[in-house]
Amino acid sequence: MKTFMNLFLHLSDIIIPATIFFIVGYGLVSRVKVYESFLIGAKDGLKIVVDIIPTLIGLMVAVGVLRASGFFELLGVILAPITEKAGLPAQLIPLLIVKLFSSSAATGLVLDIFKTNGPDSYAGTLTSILMSCTETVFYTMSVYFLAAKVTKTRYTLSGALLATFAGTVASIVLAGMLH
């Protein structure tokens, strides 16, 4: 059994290098100019990054302003009577809202929740599960749709928000089962 586990440990160490060697080898066998193709792809990627930087900066500034102004905490206090009955502590409402825009900003809130309540508390456990079961909807939509030049998003926002709601409900249920 131990040998079997060691095999998996070593396999995970070599998967990425093996994939890179496979791609390069396949390209060479197919007579593709691998390095030139890589440079073209890197150049295209850099152009996309330059195109989406203003959107990213705007999102980060907006989240920072709303967080620093106390808006998220005020919203948490207003919604607390409803959310507390559902098993969602008021202090986690800002986390849910910020997570829709920025995962890194949400991580800062997670650390605050862990310092206040501890990671093993109900709020800490729910926070950990929420971070795994929800997505940065607005960030993802703005970055990827802008990069792909998608203008008609159709039902993406409503579907993503529905999935986030389902992830939140599942998180509350799972955290409730663990505590």
| Sign of CA pseudo-dihedral 27, 31, 34, 39 | negative
Q: Is 107 exposed, middle or buried (0-12, 13-18, 19+ CB in 10 A)?
A: middle
The predicted pLDDT at position 169 comes to 94
The whole-number pLDDT of residue 73 equals 81
Contacts of 47 (CB under 8 A, 6+ apart): none
Q: What distance in Å separates the CA atoms of residue 62 and residue 73, rounded to the nearest whole number?
A: 15
**Crossing angle of helices 137-147/156-178, nearest 10°?**
150
Q: What is the pLDDT at residue 1? A: 62
Burial of 141: CB neighbours in 10 Å, binned 0-12, 13-18, 19+: middle
Parts of the chain with a pLDDT under 50 = none
| Residues near 135 by beta carbon (within 8 Å), at least 6 away in sequence | 99, 160, 163, 164, 167
pLDDT of residue 173: 94
Number of H helices, E strands in the chain: 8, 0
Asked whether 122 and 86 are in contact (CB, 8 A), the reply is no
Q: Is 162 exposed, middle or buried (0-12, 13-18, 19+ CB in 10 A)?
A: exposed
